[in-house]
Amino acid sequence: DGGITQSPKYLFRKEGQNVTLSCEQNLNHDAMYWYRQDPGQGLRLIYYSQIVNDFQKGDIAEGYSVSREKKESFPLTVTSAQKNPTAFYLCASSRMNQPQHFGDGTRLSIL
Amino acid sequence: QKEVEQDPGPLSVPEGAIVSLNCTYSNSAFQYFMWYRQYSRKGPELLMYTYSSGNKEDGRFTAQVDKSSKYISLFIRDSQPSDSATYLCAMSVTTDSWGKLQFGAGTQVVVTP
């Protein structure tokens, strides 16, 4: 089945630690995105990539980093510089000029 | 002021009723409008996608766009308990700017048997 796989489903971060969230898609989509979802707020864009080896900052990129070495993969690293990392993180992908489709998210909490 | 406003609810309706959801927006340049359904602890699922003004129907779902009023709606007919979820609206200026989707905060819907 084609889809977007995010792992792990739950993740815990200690103070001062970097953690990496995985996102893989087998839909042959060109574009991939990372969002953060907090209670009572809409999805906020962290980073997006429309082509391999290229990505752009979204509205809340500070404290996050990404890479796009393969078309299928777009991992997100939450660095220790992100002071409020507790949230539900969603990865999405799309063909160019088409709506985005989402994975089932990773919930990140602080220990 | 947020670019996209959406009442958070919860909106509680009896099974079989029509669910009416809406979003208002401030940016008159938005042309592409989407509705997503999100179950608890899951990712959003695309329900409807419309361009510019007008209506679009898909089974029990109808999406309406009124660009003159900067107002979009989603109607769910013959609602079922399985329709209980959070519904998110989203919009974009152009198809070149999918990275710039603006989302509403979502409306929680509860359909009671």
User: In the predicted model, is pLDDT for residue A1 greater than 70?
Assistant: no
Whether residues B43 and A104 touch (CB distance < 8 A) is answered with: yes
User: In the predicted model, is pLDDT for residue B51 greater than 90?
Assistant: no
Q: What is the pLDDT of residue B65?
A: 96
A57: buried, middle or exposed (CB in 10 Å: 19+, 13-18, 0-12)? Answer: middle
Quick one: what percent of chain A has pLDDT higher than 90?
Answer: 79
Phi, psi of B39 (to 5 degrees): -80, 160
B38 compared with B8, residue with greater pLDDT: B38
Q: Does B44 touch chain A (CB under 8 A)?
A: yes
**CB under 8 Å to B46, separation ≥6 — which residues?**
A99, A100, A101, B34, B35, B36
How far apart are the C-alpha atoms of B112 and B83, rounded to whole Å? 10
Q: What is the pLDDT of residues A32-64, one digit of tens each?
A: 999 999 987 889 999 999 999 999 999 999 999
Q: How far A81 CA lies from chain B's nearest CA (Å)? A: 24
Residue B5 — left, alpha, or beta (φ > 0 → left; ψ -120 to 50 → alpha)? beta
User: In the predicted model, is pLDDT for residue B97 greater than 60?
Assistant: no
Q: Does A39 touch chain B (CB under 8 A)?
A: no
Q: What is the pLDDT of residue B48?
A: 94
Whether residues A98 and B98 touch (CB distance < 8 A) is answered with: yes
Q: What is the pLDDT of residues A59-74, one digit of tens each?
A: 999 999 999 999 999 9
Q: What is the mean pLDDT of chain B?
A: 92
Q: How far A75 CA lies from chain B's nearest CA (Å)? A: 17
